Amino acid sequence: MTVQTERPPARPTEDTQRADGGPHPRGARRRPAALAPYLLLLPAVVATLLLLGWPLVKNGMLSFQNLNMRQLIQHLTEWNGVDNYTEVLGSSDFWRVTGRSLLFTATNVVLIMVLGTLTGLLLARLGRRMRVTLLIALVLAWAMPVIAATTVYQWLFAQRYGVVNWLLDRAGFHSMADYNWTGDQLSTFFVITVLIVWQSIPFVAINLYAATTTIPKELYEAAALDGAGAWQGFTSVTLPFLRPFLYATTFLEVIWVFKAFAQVFAINQGGPDRLTEILPVYAYIEGIGNQHFGMGSAIALLTIVILLAMTSLHLRIVLKQGEDEL
Amino acid sequence: MNRSLLGRIWPNATAVVLVVLCVFPVYWMFATAFKPTPDIVAEDPVFFPTDITFEHFETAVNAENFLTLVGNSLTVTVLAVLFSLVLALAGSFALARMRFKGRRGFVVGFMIAQMAPWEVMVIAIYMIVRDADMLNSLVPLTLFYMVMVLPFTMLTLRGFVAAVPRELEESAMVDGCTRPQAFVRVILPLLAPGLMSTSLFGFITAWNEFPLVLVLNKQAEAQTLPLWLSQFQSQFGDDWGATMAASSLFAIPVLVLFVFLQRKAVSGLTDGAVKG
Amino acid sequence: MKRKLIAAIGVVGMLAGVAACGSGDDGDAKTGADGFKGQTLTVWAMDGSTPDGWTKDVTAAFEKKTGAKLKFEVQQWNGIQQKLTTALSEANPPDVFEIGNTHTPAYAETGGLADLTDLKKEIGADWTESLNESSVVDGRQYAAPWYFANRVVIYNKSVFKEAGVTAPPKTRDEFFKALDAIKAKGKAEPVYLPGQNWYFFDGLLIGKGADLVKKDGDKWVSNLADPKVGEAMALYKKYADYSKAPKDKDEATPQQADVFAKGKTGAFFGMGWEAATAIKANPAIEKEIGYFTIPGDTADKPEGVFLGGSNLAVAEGSEKKELAKEFLKIALSDTFEGQLAKEGGVIPNKDALQDQLAGNAAAEAAAPAAKVGGTTPLIPEWAAVENAPSPIKAYMTAFLNGKSHAEAAAQVEGEFNKRLAQKQ
């Protein structure tokens, strides 16, 4: 399982080869098929516009309506201008939740990327048998259904019948025997973070491992000839080679962690006292849970805007890349 | 010498710790499914069930319409994954191999599409489907799941297509293949790992989807397994045993597919790179 | 013709008057026994509401009488609100559906529920007044009371006996003495009560005569700061202090009956049928289980209880409203209402049928308290307050964690009022 990379792993060698390869034959064939790329993209674009674009537009329209149970049931359209937006943007809750979401995403993504990368590099160092064992273990964690994972975690960290408290108690931390993990904001976030990191590491680690296997051995040999030690080999060969991959993976993890609704909601419904609500949970509680659908739509759109802002750097890099990158 | 021994031990020791951390929650799910209820809610956790029971599996499997839901889930998931693969293959080839105006715009467009907060767009989607009179049908479900996984599939496959050395394709064309022929004969086989990894991702996403099917398909005949999975948790209490048994069953197709495909995906990728 | 049919089935004679029911307010749907042929009535019942025998018999009677088919669709709790709201907006909503009494006023306000005022006149003269309250909004009847249940003390006889308590406590003081004795014995947890068993708390509020909301001008606002609420909560804490249960969880996680089933718990506050969950988890517990009414100040005045209940409503969007009413007449008839009470151990919608509970130990323990039972505030705005995350549960946890009543109430009142003020 690999993520898209702006410069896929096998590229560097390829680029060198091509640079030496003289004029490219492909220009000649392009003209007759000028429409071809558009035709090839057409089905996917149409599907996306129809099945994602349309709901987004609809969602946008709903965000300017007063849409609650009554209006939904009776098919009433009550426009209320920008009321939903003024209410959301004017509430301190929203901004607190947004700040919390950013912090939450940053923490988790950093943890996931660092631990995932280390695990991936570890995979590359292991002997075959141990590597396969670890790969299977990672895959098991990854494939566990979210609802099962959240239930199991809820219960591993349960105050009274939880395995974690039991283990801590046995290990000598008797004050932890009845520790209430969901009792305050930080410890709840701790449990959620453990869950999310646990679920996300396999993706990063396996991909990273797959990417390292594509690093040509010659590069290391050349580096060794230049007198590079293990650490320099890592910084001068491995890291540059993996950089595009790391960018792309980080981009994906930012999106996924930011949108992590199921995990956060299941562990403690955004509690205690709404202190662990992140944006999608907030949108859900205000919009769907409270059946204030217009309000929910407005928060959903704001969520997209914030996500766009967060990833704009990456998107800009992609947009700015020269055509010759390809 | 000390150092090299240490150098050999720590990676394996770390790996063992990681294996335990990764597997334990999964193990706990399976183990719990076989425990009698008094062992599930226990002051001292029962790590190895000695007293094995199948009652939780019976509860799970005997739920109403279980088999219908299995069929629906498989249909919807497999079709959504297949469709998205076909659309993404065509598109990713264009994005990775062709030069045309607006190419980067398309790439960024799909990246943005990946950000869609589907859970909170449920009501908008619901109203569209309701007004189109398509409720209680597997068709909208399949289509929406397809689009949910399409951006990821598209962008990932694009990376894989780009990774196939251009020379391979060109030499095939020199040998008299047309471009489509070259694609099918040369590129497609090399894309196998990419196809597998993206289909796994798609499978998990569609297989787990809950909020949309909850409101779109209220008739039991048109529902899918996530609804079945959630029924063992009610406001009167969670039947942990049954939830874990159902989760275990629910995870099995994914696990099997995963373990089977993952080996191919990883080794296939490595092979491809070596050949390139 | 219809008359004959009804007479033949022997359903309550008074139903015969129904023949003239074709009021024509539902468009082209035909009425009369033949008119319903070929139609199918869809009924949504919640998981656990419809005992098998009752379902079978009602279906048979309905199909025999109307010639139409009856389809029960059992609904799961997870996500039921979104499901119901969206379903009511559809062209083919469920014709009849079960709806919780605390939710009925909110849904009545949405226009999704058909007006059943005429049905009430026809068959509801003897419905228990207090049970019917939730179905009436602005003088109109939007649902029919179906069945009710309230919490009792489910206790472990041998744990009580070991601590020297041989007879079930009759007053609150006796109950606390019994709990002290069990505690002193040190072998079992006297009572299992997590911090957020909010419906048990609501019962204590009812017992103290405390109101959760009050009118401020034409708006409803929180009355949580009322000292009476604090008294009820102090009483709750007194019970909870006997328990090691988590302070920020409700009775569902872990399922309290599963905890009780292990035999190391003296008692818990639950619905009669939760005993079945315990027995399923540990069959050996069956002979130990006993029930008694939650005791109050004196033996003749039990503790207040929350009367949880379900109403049956007809969707305004249904094209088969007349058929739906036929169903209600059958399902709520003395025969079947009685059967439901007997089979399900639930409180029926009229006093005359209370005798069906005889022999059901749990229901017999529940019945005395039902008379002093109450509900949550029956206003359309209420449903939003109970949506997760519930400010009341937050209040309970804050109090149990050591905050004073005033502090805990102040902490959640903003949220509470916001929920009450939500646009409808």
The tens digit of pLDDT for each residue in B122-172 reads 999 999 999 999 999 999 999 999 999 999 999 988 888 887 888 887 888
Show which of residues 88-117 on chain A sit within 8 Å of chain C, judged by CB atoms.
none
* pLDDT confidence of residue B274: 33
pLDDT at residue A281, as a whole number: 92
Task: Report CA torsion sign: C72, C78, C83, C85.
Answer: positive
Structural domains of chain A in order of their starting residue, each with its CATH number: 86-325 (1.10.3720.10)
Query: What amino acid occupies position C123?
Result: I
- Report the pLDDT value the prediction gives residue C33, as an integer from 0 to 100: 52
Which pLDDT value is given to residue A13?
A: 38
Neighbouring residues of A84: CB distance < 8 A, sequence distance ≥ 6:
A63, A64, A65, A66, A294, A295, A297, A298
- Please state the domain extents for chain C: 2-149+308-362, 152-306+371-420
CA pair distance C29, C414, nearest whole angstrom: 49
* Contacts with C88 from chain A: Cβ below 8 Å: 73
Nearest by CB: C248 against A154, A182, A289 = A182
Rounded Cα distance between A163 and A170, Å, is: 10
Least confident stretch, A144-153, A260-269, B251-260, C134-143: B251-260
* pLDDT value of residue B263: 60
Structure tokens given for C124: 């509801």
Instruction: Quote the pLDDT of residue B183.
Output: 80
Residue B216 half-sphere exposure toward CB, CA atoms < 13 A: 29
**What distances in angstroms separate CA C79 from CA A55, B208, B247, one per listed residue?**
21, 16, 19
Question: For chain A, give me the number of helices (H) and strands (E)?
Answer: 17, 0
- CA–CA gap between residue A247 and residue A211 (Å, rounded): 13
CB contact under 8 A, A70 and C248: no
Pairing of strands C96-100, C40-46: parallel
A 10 A CB-CB count for C70 gives 23
Mutation to test the C interface, candidates A267, A273, A284, A293, most C Cβ within 10 Å? A273
ipTM of this complex prediction, to 2 decimal places: 0.86
Shortest CA gap A252–chain C (Å)? 29
Inter-chain contact A47–B160, Cβ cutoff 8 Å? Answer: no
Q: Which of C52, C86, C189, C310 to mutate to test the interface with B (most CBs of B within 10 A)?
A: C86
In sign, the C-alpha dihedral spanning B180, B183, B189, B194 is negative
Which chains pack against B, by 3+ Cβ pairs within 8 A? A, C
pLDDT tier, B22 (very low <50, low <70, confident <90, very high otherwise): very high
| The predicted structure's pLDDT at residue B265 | 56
* Closest listed residue to residue C416, CA positions, set C396, B120, A92: C396
Instruction: Tell me what percent of chain A is helix, strand and coil, each rounded to the nearest 5.
Output: 75, 0, 25
Q: A26-33 long-range CB contacts below 8 Å, 24 or more apart?
A: A26/B166, A26/B170, A29/B179, A30/B98, A30/B99, A33/B179
* Beta sheet of C144-149, edge-to-edge order: C69-75, C40-46, C96-100, C308-314, C144-149, C347-348
List the alpha helices (DSSP H) in A126-184. 128-143, 146-156, 163-170
Residue A147, classified by CB atoms within 10 Å of its CB into exposed (0-12), middle (13-18) or buried (19+), is buried
Q: Are A121 and A212 in contact (CB under 8 A)?
A: yes
Tell me, letter by letter, the H, E, C secondary structure of chain C. CHHHHHHHHCCCHHHHHHHHCCCCCCCCCCCCCCCCCCCEEEEEEECCCCCHHHHHHHHHHHHHHHCCEEEEEEECCCCHHHHHHHHHCCCCCCCEEEEECCCHHHHHHHCCECCCHHHHHHHCCCCCHHHHHHHEECCEECCEEEEEECCEEEEEHHHHHHCCCCCCCCEHHHHHHHHHHHHHHCCCEEEECCCCCHHHHHHHHHHHCCCCEEEECCEEEECCCCHHHHHHHHHHHHHHCCCCCCCCCCCCCCCHHHHHCCCCEEEEEECCCHHHHHHHHCHHHHHHEEEECCCECECCECCCCECEEEEEEEECCCCCHHHHHHHHHHHCCHHHHHHHHHHHCCEECCHHHHHHHCCCHHHHHHHHHHCCCECCCCCCCHHHHHCCCCHHHHHHHHHHCCCCHHHHHHHHHHHHHHHHCCCC
Mean pLDDT within A137-149 = 85
Q: Is A226 helix (H, G, I), strand (E, B) or coil?
A: coil
Place of tokens 């069930």: B49
How far is CA A200 from each of CA A55, A203, C257, rounded to the nearest angstrom? 29, 6, 35
pLDDT digits (tens, 9 = 90+) for B92-104: 999 988 888 889 8
Report the gap between the CA of C251 and the closest CA in chain B (Å): 7
Q: In chain B, what percentage of residues exceed pLDDT 90?
A: 47
Please indicate if any CB of chain A lies within 8 Å of the CB of C92.
no
Measured CA to CA, the distance from residue C308 to residue C300 in angstroms comes to 22
Cα dihedral across residues C206, C211, C213, C219: positive or negative: positive
Nearest CB partner across the interface for C389, out of A74, A154, A271: A271
Using the CB atoms, write b or e for A310-320: b if 16+ within 10 Å. bbeebbeebee
Mean pLDDT for the stretch of residues A33-49:
91
What are the pLDDT digits (tens) for B166-188? 888 788 888 888 878 888 888 88
Of A14, A45, A133, the CB nearest to B19: A133
Answer whether C2-149+308-362 and C152-306+371-420 agree in fold. Answer: yes
Residues of chain A with Cβ-Cβ distance to C401 below 8 Å are: 183
Question: Measured between alpha carbons, how far is C189 from B237 in angstroms, rounded to an integer?
Answer: 20
- pLDDT at residue number A2: 46
Residues C152-306+371-420: name the CATH superfamily.
Periplasmic binding protein-like II (3.40.190.10)
Contact C76 B230 (CB under 8 A): yes
Mean pLDDT value across residues A60-75: 95
Look up tokens 């309000």; give the residue. A295
The pLDDT of residue A1 is 45
Yes or no: say if C378 and C134 are a contact pair by the CB < 8 Å rule. yes
How confident is the model at residue C164, as a pLDDT?
Answer: 93
The answer to whether residue C253 neighbours chain A at the CB level (below 8 Å) is yes
**C-beta separation of C77 from C98 below 8 A:** no
SS3 A36: helix
Interchain pair C246, A161: CB under 8 A: no
pLDDT of residue B3: 59
Report the distance separating Cα C408 and Cα C419, nearest Å: 17
Find the helix packing angle between B122-131 and A293-320, rounded to 10°.
Answer: 110
Cα–Cα distance for residue pair A36/B94, rounded to 1 Å:
8
- C2-149+308-362 carries CATH number 3.40.50.1980: no
Residues of chain B contacting residue A40, judged by C-beta atoms under 8 Å apart: 90-91, 93-94, 98
Q: What is the pLDDT of residue A100?
A: 96
d(CA C318, CA C215): 35
Quick check: A217 contacting B, CB < 8 Å?
no
Grouping H, G, I as helix, E, B as strand and the rest as coil, residue A75 is coil
- Taking chain A, what is the end-to-end CA distance rounded to the nearest angstrom? 22
Q: What is the mean pLDDT of residues A73-82?
A: 94
| Cα B97 to Cα B173: distance, rounded to the nearest angstrom | 14
A311, B115: Cβ pair inside 8 Å? yes
What ranges in chain B are assigned the alpha helix state H?
2-33, 37-40, 55-61, 66-97, 103-113, 122-131, 138-163, 166-174, 179-182, 188-190, 192-208, 211-216, 225-230, 240-275
Tell how far CA B175 is from the center of its chain.
Answer: 38
How many angstroms separate the CA of residue B173 from the nearest CA in chain A? 11
| Rounded average pLDDT over A191-219 | 88
pLDDT at B7: 75
Cβ atoms of B41 and C252 closer than 8 Å: no
Residue A160: which of C112, C246, C412 has the nearest Cβ?
A: C246
The minimum CA-CA distance between A91 and chain B, rounded to whole Å, is 19
Predicted local distance difference test score (pLDDT) of residue C215: 92
Task: Output phi, psi for A85, to 5 deg.
Answer: -70, -45
Q: CA C184, CA C165: separation in Å to the nearest integer?
A: 12
- Show the CA angle centred on residue A223, arms to residues A217 and A229, nearest 5°: 110
Q: What is the pLDDT of residues C166-202, one digit of tens each?
A: 999 999 999 999 999 999 999 999 999 999 999 999 9
Give the whole-angstrom CA distance, residue C343 versus residue C360. 9
Cα torsion B128, B132, B135, B141: sign: negative
Q: For chain B, list residues whose CB is within 8 angstroms of any CB belonging to chain C.
A: 36-38, 40-42, 64, 122, 126, 130, 133, 135, 210-211, 214-215, 218-220, 227, 230-231, 233-240
How many angstroms separate the CA atoms of C362 and C356, rounded?
13
Are residues C397 and A272, on separate chains, in Cβ contact within 8 Å?
yes
The one-letter code for the residue type at C205 is L
Q: State the Cα–Cα distance between residues B243 and B10, nearest whole angstrom.
A: 38
Q: What pLDDT score was predicted for residue B54?
A: 94
In angstroms, the Cα distances linking C200 to C269, C350, C365 are: 7, 24, 16
Q: Which residues of chain C have pLDDT under 70?
A: 1-34, 424
- Please give the C-alpha separations between residue C338 and each of C9, C10, C124, C347, in angstroms, as whole numbers: 17, 16, 15, 9
Maximum C-alpha span of chain B: 74
- Decide if pLDDT at A16 tops 50: no
